[in-house]
């Protein structure tokens, strides 16, 4: 089932490299606009405008990339994480599926680590 949005965490990635990858994957992107600590842009995809948010160092060395659309080439976070890892050559993390607060704190620490070696479930305490 296609997720309504995509969120991945990218380690030590260069924002310019992420912009280049997004333009190739989604379509031409507008310039990043700073809004507080976050940066926003819009990708002009064949399926319409896709809002993108970049939060540098959201969790330590990890940058959050949030794509607010279900009209992406990826069905879910893990597919996007695998594509980002391959394109950027860095470790990427994402939730193993949709998570909501009523699932409890234990599940909040379950994450998927994506590297060139593959996908591995890990415990990542982000709070």
Dump pLDDT digits (tens) for 61-100: 999 999 999 999 999 999 999 999 999 999 999 998 755 5
Inside any domain, residue 32: yes
The whole-model pTM stands at: 0.90
Whether residue 116 contacts residue 45, with contact meaning beta carbons closer than 8 Å, is answered with no
Torsion of CA 84, 65, 123, 90, to 10 degrees: 30
DSSP 83: H
Q: How confident is the model at residue 1 (pLDDT cuts 50, 70, 90)?
A: low
Inside any domain, residue 86: yes
Q: How confident is the model at residue 111 (pLDDT cuts 50, 70, 90)?
A: very high
Q: Which residues span the domain enclosing 64?
A: 6-123
Q: Across the chain, what does the average pLDDT equal? A: 91
The pLDDT of residue 113: 97
Inside any domain, residue 1: no
Structure token digits, residue 86: 């391959």
The pLDDT of residue 47: 86
Inside any domain, residue 88: yes
**Is the predicted pLDDT of residue 108 greater than 70, yes or no?**
no
The pLDDT of residue 100: 53
Compute φ and ψ for 107, nearest 5 degrees: -65, -20
Q: How many domains does the chain have?
A: 1
The pLDDT of residue 126: 77
Inside any domain, residue 115: yes
Q: Where are the beta strands (DSSP E) in the chain?
A: 6-11, 33-35, 38-45, 48-59, 62-67, 92-94, 110-115, 118-123
């Amino acid at each position: 089932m296609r997720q309504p949005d995509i969120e991945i965490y990218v380690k030590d990635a260069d924002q310019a490299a992420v912009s280049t990858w997004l333009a190739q994957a989604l379509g031409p992107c507008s310039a990043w606009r700073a809004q507080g600590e976050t940066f926003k842009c819009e990708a002009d995809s064949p399926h319409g405008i896709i809002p993108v948010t970049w939060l540098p160092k959201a969790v330590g060395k990890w940058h959050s990339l949030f794509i607010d659309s279900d009209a992406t080439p990826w069905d879910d976070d893990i597919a996007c994480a695998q594509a980002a890892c391959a394109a950027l050559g860095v470790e990427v993390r994402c939730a193993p599926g949709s998570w909501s607060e009523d699932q409890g704190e234990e599940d909040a620490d379950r994450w998927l680590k994506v590297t060139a070696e593959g996908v591995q479930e890990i415990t990542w305490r982000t709070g």
